[in-house]
């Protein structure tokens, strides 16, 4: 354990990686391997070496983090990207917009190449760029080779393999046209970097950062959330993994619940700006502005539990006191019954109605003043939720 502490402190300081007791044994094994590999005599010698030689630190980080992935992992998230997120971006930014996507913690490249393949399938490959980043330079080297075994392609069909890969013995190499659409670069998410055009880490329409934050401590998570928010374009989307910590408390994201999990979105402030030459509408008071009041409620209650879209029976003619509306995806209803039980127990006794899931595309059916003004025009709707006590 004495050998673990100084190395763990160095790795945490340089990378933001956090090692609870449950992971100390794995860290100790990695340190023993590093000592044998580098010829260091003691843990202090290893720390000195890791300080001087970035490649040695990279090898240690690669050994203590999970570098395993596969193409189109968590396919539901890719389907939401294909079916809803990309069309929304193109409607908002115009058909000539050049898409920018970022994959953080790309390991051997399966995720950024999956994004590039999806764009190719949608006819968007020629006007898009995908950037893959990782803290491990050995992982980036493997990603540049773009050579994969059957395990990385599990679940794929033969037509997919023949279209996008060339067989080389027992392995499969990604075709050159897809590789050319992905840029690979080193990025330490725990470092205090600032998004800029000089580095290329800026103005992304979509960022995938899945299962990279599970190793971070609370301070590193907060810093990473702020940097990811800054790296998004206005209206851009952030996709995280199911095991990742929530980020809404650390940056002013809009949160969107989808059948594939939680998505985050940077608010598009441009939508509220008047066009040049068009006089701005009178600014409503804070009390009479639905947009501002929703935003204030979100800031006060960003950690409250999200619910899928619901409707109430006509007997629910008013919004229960202390509830707030959130932007919720109303696609295919979840199969979970726990949500319905929770809603019935929280709403049924308060407003005399029963909460039931909506069908896909169903309008919001809450009675005024709960209904947002105007018809629904997308796959998203405002859902009413219980706010923490004291919020307004």
Show the DSSP H helices in the chain as ranges.
4-15, 21-38, 43-52, 54-64, 75-80, 86-93, 110-121, 137-145, 158-164, 176-179, 218-231, 290-300, 338-343, 349-351
Residue range 75-269 in CATH 3.40.50.150: yes
Of 331 and 272, which is predicted with more confidence? 272
pLDDT of 353-365, one tens digit each?
333 333 333 333 3
Kindly report the pTM of this predicted structure: 0.69
Please report which confidence band the pLDDT of residue 4 belongs to, taking 50, 70 and 90 as the band edges: confident
Determine the pLDDT at residue 138: 87
User: Is the predicted pLDDT of residue 278 greater than 70, yes or no?
Assistant: no
Find the range with the poorest average confidence among 77-91, 178-192, 251-265: 178-192
DSSP E strand boundaries for 144-228? 147-148, 165-168, 171-174, 182-186, 204-209
pLDDT of 48-71, one tens digit each?
999 998 888 888 887 887 777 899
Please report which confidence band the pLDDT of residue 387 belongs to, taking 50, 70 and 90 as the band edges: very low
């Amino acid at each position: 354990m004495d050998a673990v502490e100084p190395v763990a402190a160095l790795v945490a300081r340089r990378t933001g990686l956090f090692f609870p007791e449950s992971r100390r044994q794995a860290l100790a094994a990695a340190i023993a391997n590093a000592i044998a590999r580098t010829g260091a005599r003691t843990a202090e010698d290893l720390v000195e070496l890791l300080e001087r030689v970035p490649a040695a630190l990279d090898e240690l980080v690669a050994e203590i983090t999970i570098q395993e992935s596969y193409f189109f992992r968590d396919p539901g998230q890719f389907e939401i990207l294909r079916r809803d997120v990309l069309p929304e971006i193109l409607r908002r930014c115009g058909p000539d917009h050049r898409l920018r996507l970022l994959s953080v913690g790309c390991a051997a490249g399966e995720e950024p190449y999956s994004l590039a393949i999806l764009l190719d399938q949608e006819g968007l490959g020629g006007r898009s760029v995908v950037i893959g980043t990782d803290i491990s330079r050995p992982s980036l080297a493997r990603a540049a080779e773009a050579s994969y075994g059957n395990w990385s392609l599990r679940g794929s069909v033969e037509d997919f393999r023949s279209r996008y890969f060339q067989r080389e013995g027992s392995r499969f190499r990604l075709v050159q046209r897809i590789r050319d659409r992905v840029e690979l670069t080193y990025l330490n998410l725990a470092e205090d970097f600032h998004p800029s055009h000089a580095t290329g880490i800026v103005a992304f329409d979509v960022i995938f950062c899945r299962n990279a934050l599970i190793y971070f401590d609370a301070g590193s998570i907060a810093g990473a959330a702020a940097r990811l928010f800054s790296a998004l374009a206005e209206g851009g989307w952030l996709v995280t993994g199911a095991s990742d910590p929530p980020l809404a408390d650390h940056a002013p994201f809009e949160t969107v619940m989808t059948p594939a999990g939680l998505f985050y979105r940077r608010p598009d402030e441009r939508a509220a700006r008047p066009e040049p030459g068009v006089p701005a509408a009178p600014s409503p008071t804070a009390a009479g502005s639905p947009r501002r009041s929703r935003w204030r409620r979100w800031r006060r209650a960003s950690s409250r539990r999200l619910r899928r879209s619901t409707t109430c029976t006509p007997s629910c003619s008013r919004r229960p006191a202390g509830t707030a509306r959130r932007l919720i995806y109303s696609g295919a209803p979840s199969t979970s019954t726990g949500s319905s039980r929770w809603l019935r127990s929280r709403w049924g006794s308060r407003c005399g109605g029963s909460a039931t899931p909506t069908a896909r595309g169903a309008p919001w059916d809450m009675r005024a003043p709960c209904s947002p003004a105007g018809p629904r025009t997308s796959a998203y709707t405002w859902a009413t939720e219980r706010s923490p006590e004291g919020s307004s």
